[in-house]
């Protein structure tokens, strides 16, 4: 296989492909088996499909990394500052 494909995250690639197929299926169903589909908008459809693929791929890769795992703890700190900021300061020292 090509060297460029060896660096891709397979789980994120699968998630993005599933989302892309879902968008295409929803367009097919929503346009009543393409009876109400305007051919002039095909470029927008391709743009939307590729945008969904890219966004879902990047989001899936981002979720697999370490920073998102700490975000819920940080959001709790912001919401309930008095309780968790003191606990966070105790852990740091």
- Please give the average pLDDT of every successive group of 10 residues along the chain, which has 93 residues: 76 95 95 88 95 95 73 51 44 43
| 3-state SS, one letter per residue, for 25-70 | HHHHHHCCCCCCCCHHHHHHHHHHHHHHHHHHHHHHHHHHCCHHHH
pTM: predicted TM-score of the whole model, two decimal places: 0.66
Q: What is the pLDDT of residue 64?
A: 85
Q: What is the pLDDT of residue 38?
A: 87
């Amino acid at each position: 296989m090509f060297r460029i494909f060896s660096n891709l995250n397979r789980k994120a690639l699968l998630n993005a492909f599933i989302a892309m197929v879902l968008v295409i299926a929803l367009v097919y169903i929503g346009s009543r088996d393409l009876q109400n589909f305007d051919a002039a908008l095909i470029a927008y459809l391709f743009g939307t499909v590729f945008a969904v693929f890219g966004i879902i791929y990047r989001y899936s890769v981002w979720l697999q990394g370490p920073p998102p795992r700490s975000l819920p703890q940080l959001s709790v700190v912001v919401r309930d500052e008095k309780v968790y900021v003191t606990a966070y300061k105790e852990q740091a020292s």
